[in-house]
Homo-oligomer: A and B are copies of this chain.
């Protein structure tokens, strides 16, 4: 992984009055570019081959410039060009996935957030160590023979919402399990899903204060999962077993929602605990992150996963959310990121928020 020292050296050559926001043309890029433009920063879209035509339809979100690569794996080749343009990379889920974690960790371009978080987030065991260390309730891991209620069975090869099944008891587990594959069994939390979009700033000192910096909760969404969200129109999971249709959990989009206001203290506490623990474990998770949660009918909040960067659910709120509008009218996560970059540049603290 690239060191703090290396980034610091690169930044010495940057013209901090002419910074550019760069990201891969997918996931939440429209919002990232839109927010950067509003904040007066230059924008660079990294794409494969010809620039995607759809940006032409959205003039306020179209990057000032495109840089083309043959494959996202080759982004390291354009690192010198990006540095020359004073580029700061805003990583998103697709950025990391397309490029590959290893190459991403080594990329010699200043990147928003702390790249070290990737090691903690992508390894299920370390993620659990981090979150449970922060006092967060996660779904329990269960041994098959101890299944006494609904569980989610996840094959190790599972990717992108396929390769899961839900069992309500041990019998259903036995009926459905393919023992030739590795799997984990995890408590299935019954409730309603909320994806909470936070922002941790080590620079702002006014607001919801943490030991160092401040925490914001900008918005929340529920993912739209294909086909699980609509498959009930065909039949119950049990009835579908007999037909040739399997529930799958592939994210196709997002819908907006808000949470009961009485849960706000709990929501902020969760964000706070996760950030504080990250500060202890690996120097802190900086900028946008998302807690993927279930709100139970006991009004408990269980966290089943963390994403340590901007999530696509924020795309609903490109011009403000019911929460972010309480901070600044029309504030999106994309805009908030660019504000942080500008603030760091002004305070000559870019190395605090970049890695």
Q: Cβ of A257 and Cβ of B224 under 8 Å apart?
A: yes
Q: Is A213 among interface residues, defined by CB-CB distance under 8 A? A: no
- The CA of A317 and the CA of B323, in the complex, are separated in Å by 10
Binds B, one of A6-14, A57-65, A100-108: A57-65
Q: What is the 8 Å Cβ interface bit string for chain A, positions 219-230, against chain B (1 contact, 0 not)? A: 000101111111
Q: Cβ of A252 and Cβ of B325 under 8 Å apart?
A: no
Q: Is A190 among interface residues, defined by CB-CB distance under 8 A? A: yes
Q: Is A28 among interface residues, defined by CB-CB distance under 8 A? A: yes
Kindly identify which residue among B52, B162, B325, B329 contacts A265, using a CB–CB cutoff of 8 Å.
B52
Question: What is the size, in residues, of chain A's interface with B at 8 Å between Cβ atoms?
Answer: 99
Q: Which residue of chain B lies nearest to A264 when distances are taken between CB atoms in the complex?
A: B54
Kindly identify which residue among B149, B193, B230, B255 contacts A243, using a CB–CB cutoff of 8 Å.
B149
Q: Is A216 among interface residues, defined by CB-CB distance under 8 A? A: yes
Kindly identify which residue among B233, B244, B253 contacts A257, using a CB–CB cutoff of 8 Å.
B253
Q: Cβ of A233 and Cβ of B237 under 8 Å apart?
A: yes
Q: Is A250 among interface residues, defined by CB-CB distance under 8 A? A: yes
User: Within 8 Å CB of A224, what residues of B?
Assistant: 192, 257
User: Within 8 Å CB of A261, what residues of B?
Assistant: 26-30, 312, 315
- The CA of A248 and the CA of B191, in the complex, are separated in Å by 9
Q: Is A349 among interface residues, defined by CB-CB distance under 8 A? A: no
- The CA of A63 and the CA of B328, in the complex, are separated in Å by 16
- With contacts A259-B253, A261-B29 taken as known, whether A226 is within 8 angstroms of B168 at the C-beta atoms is no
- The CA of A298 and the CA of B54, in the complex, are separated in Å by 22
User: Within 8 Å CB of A231, what residues of B?
Assistant: 190
Kindly identify which residue among B34, B161, B234, B326 contacts A30, using a CB–CB cutoff of 8 Å.
B326
Q: Is A203 among interface residues, defined by CB-CB distance under 8 A? A: no
User: Within 8 Å CB of A236, what residues of B?
Assistant: 232, 235-236, 238-239
Which residue numbers of A lie inside 8 Å of B, CB to CB? Answer: 26-30, 34, 52-54, 56-61, 94, 148-150, 161-162, 166, 168-169, 188, 190-194, 206-209, 214-217, 222, 224-240, 243-245, 247-248, 250-265, 267-268, 295-299, 312, 315-320, 322-323, 325-330
Ordered by A's residue number, 11 sampled pairs between the chains whose C-beta atoms are within 8 Å are A54-B217, A56-B208, A57-B215, A58-B326, A149-B245, A190-B230, A227-B296, A232-B233, A235-B237, A316-B322, A318-B322
18 additional contacts, CB 8 Å, given A192-B224, A257-B316?
Answer: A30-B326, A34-B326, A53-B265, A54-B217, A54-B267, A57-B326, A60-B329, A149-B243, A150-B234, A188-B234, A190-B231, A226-B295, A235-B236, A236-B238, A252-B263, A252-B295, A261-B312, A318-B325
